[in-house]
Amino acid sequence: MSQNAIGFIGLGRMGGPMSTRLLKAGYQVVVHDVSQDAIDRVVGDGATAAGSPREVAELSDIVLTSLPTPHIVEQTALGQDGIVEGARAQILIDVSTTGPSTATRVAEGLAAAGKQWVDSPVSGGVAGATNGTLAVMVSCPQKIFERVEPVVQNFGKIFHVGDKPGLAQVLKLANNMLAAGALVLSSEALAMGVKAGIDPKVMIDTINVSSGRNSATQDKFPKAILPGTFDFGFATGLSYKDVRMCVDESETLGVPMLGGAFVREMLAVTQAKYGADSDFTCIARLMEEWADVEIRG
Ligand code: NAD
């Protein structure tokens, strides 16, 4: 493997297209996932498969993780056969939404083995991951930032948030709480309008040139709610995890977060009813049921 070998662990909705972008940029990419289908897709694009996170870290210089939960990120980095055991890789860039407390803990574990942690959570969904138009929030010391910048610039626009592990994670949690909150409030507003007799498409078109427009009305309603497909590409379980971590972090910092707690509970109900694997646009389905209307157009 050349000096430009990159490891990529977690080849799902986000990690799959992001690893393909690295292949297209000319990097050798060594991949790992627990799903053989996910591996096969990226190997088909030119990646090499490895049997464990340790093996990935033995075959690459920088390893990226795009994994579903903070616990899985921690296990993949520090557990048995983890990245920490692979001698070659010196840097782990975590593009998952992991939250600041796990980020800080894993950074310490890696530092004890002479390896560096880089927070790099992303926003912009599957379309952004495919097209390289994500917002990429990075926190790590400047010297390390200079080494990882050429890699993460393949994913979109970079924002260097600070030096400390976890800072970019805090920003990402704030963003995701806002995105889920916009979806909750927009679902309430649309259910009300439709029940009163307004065509939901007319409502969305009007709101999108008015002061109430937001990421749900501009993106989620036209793509996944009005057509009734509920397939935007972000799982209810992941959104619930993010908003839970956001409210927890706010509590830790002594900042009241009443609206965030309400959004968290709406996600708890959506998950209880439709399951963790449902798309988080199912928040609108919940409102449809409560209001006894269909928001379609
Ligand atoms: P996903 O469930 O589609 O992908 C996760 C991948 O990790 C799957 O391929 C799964 O098989 C694999 N995996 C699970 N456990 C593993 C393990 N122990 N070892 C190796 N592989 C394992 O999730 P996603 O939507 O791609 O999200 C990944 C991360 O990115 C999450 O932290 C999420 O919060 C964040 N994120 C998602 C989006 C989005 O729109 N989907 C946007 C921004 C950030």
Same domain as 202, residue 157:
no
Do both 106 and 226 map to the same domain?
no
Same domain, 226 and 176: yes
pLDDT at 16: 98
In a domain, 263, yes or no: yes
Point out the ligand 1 atom lying closest to the alpha carbon of residue 242.
34
Which one of 8, 20, 33, 93 would you pick to mutate in the ligand 1 pocket, going by the greatest count of ligand atoms within 8 A of its CB?
A: 33
Number of structural domains (the chain) is 2
183 in a structural domain: yes
Spell out a b/e string for 197-226, using b for 16 or more CB atoms within 10 Å of the CB, else e: eeebeebbeebeeeeeebbbbebbbbbbbb
Establish if 296 belongs to a structural domain. Answer: no
DSSP symbol at 279: B
On whether both 236 and 146 belong to a single domain, the answer is no
Atom of ligand 1 nearest to the CA of 232: 40
Residue 209 alpha carbon to ligand 1 centre in Å: 34
Q: Are residues 25 and 138 in the same domain?
A: yes
CATH number at residue 186: 1.10.1040.10
Nearest residue to 65 via CA among 23, 119, 8, 138: 8
| Rounded-to-integer distance, Cα 220 and Cα 200, Å | 13
**Interval between CA 250 and ligand 1 midpoint (Å):** 24
pLDDT category, 1, cuts 50, 70, 90? very low
**Centroid of ligand 1 to alpha carbon of 138 (angstroms):** 18
In this predicted model, what pLDDT tens digit does every residue of 54-83 receive, in sequence order? 999 999 999 999 999 999 999 999 999 999
For residues 250-263, average pLDDT: 98
Instruction: Decide if pLDDT at 113 tops 60.
Output: yes
Does residue 2 surpass a pLDDT of 50? no
Q: Which residues are catalytic, by number?
A: 172
CATH number at residue 155: 3.40.50.720
